[in-house]
Structure 1
C-alpha cells in the first residue's frame, strides 16, 4: 500500500459511557437506538445480572428479549440466534458478558445490520470496543477473525459491573493489553505513517502503565489504580488497534493463542492468559531465531511480573504439563499456518521454531525436557 493511499479506520464506538453507574445513565441512549433489543449472554454466573438489565430496560418502556450462547462465538450459535432475532423482531443486539459474548453480539449486529450495544462484565479483553470478532468451533478451537464495518454504536463500561468480576479476569485483560506493545512494535516495522507511529507509542505508554499499576489495581478493586488499569485493558487497548489499523496487527502472541485453542486441555484458560504466554513465546522466537538480545531482556522482565499476577508462564500453568509432542506440534503448525499473524515477524519462522520456543518458555513439562534448549 502506498504512503498516500486511502485507508479506512474503525477507530472507536460512536459513544462510550464509563464510570460507576454507567449502565443506568446509558438507558436513555439505549432507548434512542432501539425499542426491542436482544440481550445476549452466555455464562450462568452473569445470568442474574442480565435479568436485572432486562428488568431495568422494561421499567423504562422497552421490550427486550433474551438469548444465550451455548458455545463460544461459533457459527452454530450465530445461525440459531440470528433466526431468533429475526422472528422476535428485535431491532438491536445488546451483548453483556466477556469477550466471546461481545464478539458474537457484534457479529450478529453486523450481519443483520442492527445497532450494537456492548456491556462488558469484566476487563478481560477489549472486545467491547473493537470492530473485530473471533470465530471458534463449537469445541472452542479458534478458526479465524472477521473484520466488521464499524465499532459498536454504544459501549457501556460500568465500573461496578466490571469490578464484580473475578480478579483473574483483570489479570487476563492486562496480559492481552500488554500484547499491543510487543506485537504492534514488531508488525508496524519502520512505518512512516504518523497514526501508526502514534499508536505504537501509545501501546508503549499502555505497557508502562500496566507494569507500574497492575499489582496495586488487583490488590484494591475499585481504587483509582484499578480504574486506570481496567480502562487501559478494556478501552485503551481497543483504541490503539483502531488508530493503528492494519499496521498494528497481532503477531506471534495471538498466533500462539490461536494454536493453543486447538487443544481441549487449554480451554480452561482465559483468552488473555494464553495471549500472555504467547508474548513470552514471541520474545523467545525474537531471541532465538531473530537474534534479539532486547527480546531476551524483555522476557526476563515479564516473567516475574506475570508470575506476580498469577498468569501462566509455562505449559504446566496452562494445563498442558502432560501434552504430547504430537499435540504441541499441532499448536506450532496451526500458529504457522498460511496467513497467520505470526508471519508479521520480520524473519521466517517454521513450526519447529515455535515448538522449541513453546518448550523452552516452559518450566515444567517433563515429557518434553529433552527438547528444552
Structure 2
C-alpha cells in the first residue's frame, strides 16, 4: 500500500482579532521576544507603527525599526538580513507586501514572526507564503514558507483607519479563492481539498452580500465580517487545501500586469479582481463553460459597485501599446505559470483577446 503524506501550514499559531486586539497582544509578544524588528514601509502608516513601537517599549521590549525601500524584493531582504544584530523576532506591520517581506525574512533567519495587518487588502498576514518582486515592482516568484506566523494581530481599530479602497481590493482578492480553487480543485477526491473549496464558495457568497454595506459603513457588522473574511478566512483555503487549492488565471493575470510600470499604482487585489473577469472569459470562450458567462454577469456589477477595475482603461492602460499588452500575456502564459492550472490550454493571443474583452457581457444563453 502506497502512503501519501501531505504537509499543511494551516494557520498562525495564535490569532487575536477585534477592537483592542493590539493591546491584548502585547504580553504575548513579550513572551516571544525582547528585541523585535518592527518592519513597515508606507508613509501613511508611519504614525501607526510609531504607536506600536511606543507600546512595545512600555512593556519592557527594545524594538528596532526599519522599513522597506521597495516591495518584497531580494535587495531589501538582503539589506535587512545583514543589519539585524541582536534582533530576536520580526514584527511586520502594514499591507500585503510588508507582511510578505516580514514573513520571508523571519523564515530565513529562523526567527518568530508577528504580523499586524494595517488594512484588509490581502490575507498575507495569515499565510505561509510570500510573493517576491523586483525592485521595480514586477512579480518574480512566490516562496512557500515552513509555517504560518507565530502571532497574527488583527486589530479592527487599526484596520478601520485604512482607505476604503484597500478593503475593496481585499474583497476582490478573497473572491478569487472560489473562482480559482473551484477550477483547479473542484473535482478533487481529497476530503480536505473538497472542504477548502466549499469554504471558498461560502466566503464568496458572504462577500457578495456583505461587501457593499461594508464599504458604505466601517462601523457596521458587515464591515467586520467582510474585513475578517478578506484578511483571515481567505487565508484558510490555501492552508487547508494546500498547493492543490491553487491560484489560477486571475493571479496569473495579476503577475503579468505587474510587469508594466503603469499598473504599479493599482493594488494587488484590484489586479486580481480584473483577472477573475479575464479567467471567466477564458473559461467561457475556450473551455465552453456556460456557467462562466453567468458568473461573469453576476460578478461584474459588484466589482463596478465597489469601484474596482474592470477594463484596461481602469488599470491605467488606456495608452498601452500592443507590445506592452503582449508582454503581460507572455509573462502570464510563461512555463510554470498558475494560468496552466486551467483545464484547457491558453495561448498569449487568446489571453490578449480576453484582456481586451474582460468587461464585455456575453449574450444570455436560452
Query: What TM-score do you get using the length of structure 2 for normalisation?
Result: 0.97
Aligned to 1:112: 109
- 1: CA distance between counterparts of 2:243 and 2:228? 23
- 1: CA distance between counterparts of 2:194 and 2:30? 39
Could you say if the C-alpha distance between residues 228 and 3 of structure 1 is closer, same or farther in structure 2, counting changes exceeding 3 Å? farther
Aligned to 1:59: 58
Picking from 114, 128, 131, the partner of 1:131 is: 128
CA contact (8 A) 1:3 1:193 kept: no
SS at match of 1:96: strand
- Superposed, which structure 2 residues align to 1:90-101 within 5 Å? 90-101=87-98
Q: Work out whether 1:246 is the aligned partner of 2:246.
A: no
CA contact (8 A) 1:159 1:222 kept: no
Q: CA deviation at 1:4?
A: 4.9
Q: CA deviation at 1:360?
A: 1.1
Query: What TM-score do you get using the length of structure 1 for normalisation?
Result: 0.95
CA contact (8 A) 2:122 2:230 kept: yes
- 2: CA distance between counterparts of 1:131 and 1:3? 28
5+ residue gaps, structure 1: 364-373
Q: Work out whether 1:293 is the aligned partner of 2:290.
A: yes
Picking from 258, 262, 266, the partner of 1:261 is: 258
Aligned to 1:76: 75
Aligned to 2:328: 331
Q: Work out whether 1:185 is the aligned partner of 2:179.
A: no
- Superposed, which structure 2 residues align to 1:196-211 within 5 Å? 196-211=193-208
Q: CA deviation at 1:356?
A: 0.6
Picking from 170, 173, 180, the partner of 1:173 is: 170
Aligned to 2:146: 149
Q: CA deviation at 1:240?
A: 1.2
Task: Spell out, residue by residue over 1:114-167, the C-alpha distance to the aligned partner (whole angstroms, 9 max, x if none).
Answer: 000000000000000000000000100000000000000000000000011000
Aligned to 2:33: 34
Aligned to 2:46: 47
Task: Spell out, residue by residue over 1:36-84, the C-alpha distance to the aligned partner (whole angstroms, 9 max, x if none).
Answer: 0000000000111111100000011000000000000000000111112
Task: Spell out, residue by residue over 1:188-220, the C-alpha distance to the aligned partner (whole angstroms, 9 max, x if none).
Answer: 142110000000000000000000010011111
Q: Which one is further off, 108-117 or 294-303?
A: 294-303
Aligned to 1:367: none
- 1: CA distance between counterparts of 2:7 and 2:112? 20
- 2: CA distance between counterparts of 1:239 and 1:9? 11
Q: CA deviation at 1:300?
A: 1.0
- 1: CA distance between counterparts of 2:198 and 2:318? 37
- Superposed, which structure 2 residues align to 1:281-360 within 5 Å? 281-360=278-357
CA contact (8 A) 2:96 2:122 kept: yes
- 2: CA distance between counterparts of 1:362 and 1:260? 16
Task: Spell out, residue by residue over 1:233-272, the C-alpha distance to the aligned partner (whole angstroms, 9 max, x if none).
Answer: 0000001110011110100000000000000000010000
Could you say if the C-alpha distance between residues 226 and 189 of structure 1 is closer, same or farther in structure 2, counting changes exceeding 3 Å? closer
5+ residue gaps, structure 2: 361-366
Could you say if the C-alpha distance between residues 362 and 304 of structure 1 is closer, same or farther in structure 2, counting changes exceeding 3 Å? closer
- 2: CA distance between counterparts of 1:362 and 1:42? 34
SS at match of 1:178: helix
Q: CA deviation at 1:222?
A: 2.7
- 2: CA distance between counterparts of 1:206 and 1:3? 35
CA contact (8 A) 1:332 1:355 kept: yes
- 2: CA distance between counterparts of 1:3 and 1:244? 21
